[in-house]
Amino acid sequence: MRIYREKDYDAMSRRAAAVIAAQVVSKPDCVLGLATGSSPVGTYKQLVQWYKQGDLSFAGVRSVNLDEYYGLAPDHDQSYRYFMQASLFDHVDIKPENTNVPDGLAKDPAAEGERYEKLVAELGYADLQLLGMGRNGHIGFNEPGDHFPVITHLVDLAQSTIEANSRFFASADDVPKQALSMGVGTIMRARRILVVVSGEDKAEAVYKAVCGPVTPEVPASILQLHPDVTLVGDESALSRLTEAGV
């Protein structure tokens, strides 16, 4: 695992954007696996800036997002489709038909999981998968449990995730209780993985993911078994690793 220790959120975002830009420049028709949430917002901002300066084009890029809240329409302002449009897709030259997010309104979520998994497989899985990490060590919406879910599936969100994400909703009661998420298997099939983490509240999860045992109780710990992972964090998120001498 390659670890970049950056001084703050902005430096973390620039570093992560540079890794993504290098991927897009070296393979313009690459498949990017994308994430939502607070962690990648600065990364997307930087990519948009480079696109506007004429330094980067997404014209050939295909994208697959990690997850979507179950029950939210694409135009709901807290849906992950909406987030991706507002943070990246509407501001760069990626072709709308080349962007993919699970359908939060699918009547049959099991069938939607299968459809999405097939789509990701047909694209050949991600060349580069961007991930954030939950405070409980989740990746995508694969919550701590007794096994690693393999393919895209319907997830019951952990209470701690609902509380963490309630900052985007009027109240915790408004946060959807379920989501469609790529499985850990889908994520691990990406050829490269880029994880962005910032803030003290992630320090313990980051430490367990990097130094602890590989266990479904800390889903991100499975990344220890992937051959090409880059972790980019700010000093606070990496503080427990620093204390441990990593």
Residue 134 binds ligand F6R (CB under 6 A): yes
Residue ranges in 162-221 that form contacts with ligand F6R under rule CB under 6 A? none
Residue 36 binds ligand F6R (CB under 6 A): yes
**Which listed residue (65, 117, 127, 138) is catalytic?**
138
Binding mask 55-84 for ligand F6R (x = CB under 6 A): -----------xx-----------------
Please identify which residue in 35, 64, 193, 231 interacts with ligand F6R, judged by CB under 6 A: 35
Q: Please report which residue ranges of the chain form alpha helices under DSSP H.
A: 9-26, 41-52, 80-87, 109-122, 159-165, 184-188, 203-211, 239-243
Least CB distance from residue 167 to ligand F6R, whole Å? 9
Residue 140 binds ligand F6R (CB under 6 A): yes
CA distances from 64 to 108, 110, 205, 215, 222 (A): 20, 18, 25, 26, 21
Provide the 10 A C-beta neighbour count for residue 41.
17
Please identify which residue in 139, 193, 223, 229 interacts with ligand F6R, judged by CB under 6 A: 139
With CB under 6 A as the rule, give the number of residues binding ligand F6R. Answer: 14
Q: Is 143 a catalytic residue?
A: yes
Helices 9-26, 41-52: crossing angle, 10 deg rounding: 50
182 and 66 Cβ atoms separated by less than 8 Å = yes
d(CA 201, CA 45): 23
d(CA 13, CA 11): 5
Which residue, 57 or 158, is less far from ligand F6R as judged by CB? Answer: 158
Q: Is 91 a catalytic residue?
A: no
User: Which region, judged by CB under 6 A, interacts with ligand F6R, from 70-78, 135-143, 213-221, 233-241?
Assistant: 135-143
Please identify which residue in 1, 38, 76, 105 interacts with ligand F6R, judged by CB under 6 A: 38
User: Which region, judged by CB under 6 A, interacts with ligand F6R, from 87-95, 113-121, 138-146, 170-178?
Assistant: 138-146
d(CA 16, CA 39): 10
**Which listed residue (136, 142, 153, 234) is catalytic?**
136
Q: Is 65 a catalytic residue?
A: no
CA distances from 112 to 108, 142, 153, 180 (A): 6, 17, 8, 8
Q: Is 138 a catalytic residue?
A: yes
Q: Which of 167, 121, 114, 162 is nearest to 141 (CA)?
A: 162
Residue 141 binds ligand F6R (CB under 6 A): yes
121 and 166 Cβ atoms separated by less than 8 Å = no
Q: Which residues are catalytic?
A: 67, 136, 138, 143
Contact residues toward ligand F6R (CB under 6 A) are 35-39, 66-67, 132-134, 138-141
